[in-house]
């Protein structure tokens, strides 16, 4: 019975670790998307600034 409880405990621990790794992966992907969006926004800001200077 003790062995069964230990194996159930270990299985739960492994599942928890797998879920944590999956969440970390999703967070990293979201971080990459955010970086891309920030770069695009920065580029748009620069372009807008250039256009404003041209029309002044």
pLDDT (tens digit per residue) in 12-52: 999 999 999 999 888 888 888 899 999 999 999 999 999 99
> Can you say how many angstroms the Cα of residue 34 is from the centroid of all Cα atoms in its chain?
8
**Every domain of the chain and the residues it spans:** 1-56
Q: Whole-angstrom Cα distance, residue 47 to residue 55?
A: 13
Query: What does the pLDDT read at residue 2?
Result: 82
**H or E element, residue 1:** none
pLDDT above 90 for 4: no
Q: Could you give the CA distance from residue 25 to residue 35 in angstroms, rounded to a whole number? A: 15
C-alpha–C-alpha distance, residues 9 and 3, integer Å: 10
User: How far is the C-alpha of 28 from the C-alpha of 2, rounded, in Å?
Assistant: 39
State pTM to two decimals: 0.55
């Amino acid at each position: 019975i003790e062995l069964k409880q230990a194996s159930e405990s270990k299985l739960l621990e492994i599942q928890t670790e797998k879920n944590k790794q999956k969440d970390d992966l999703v967070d990293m992907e979201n971080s990459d998307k955010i970086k891309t969006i920030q770069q695009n926004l920065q580029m748009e800001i620069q372009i807008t600034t250039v256009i404003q200077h041209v029309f002044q």
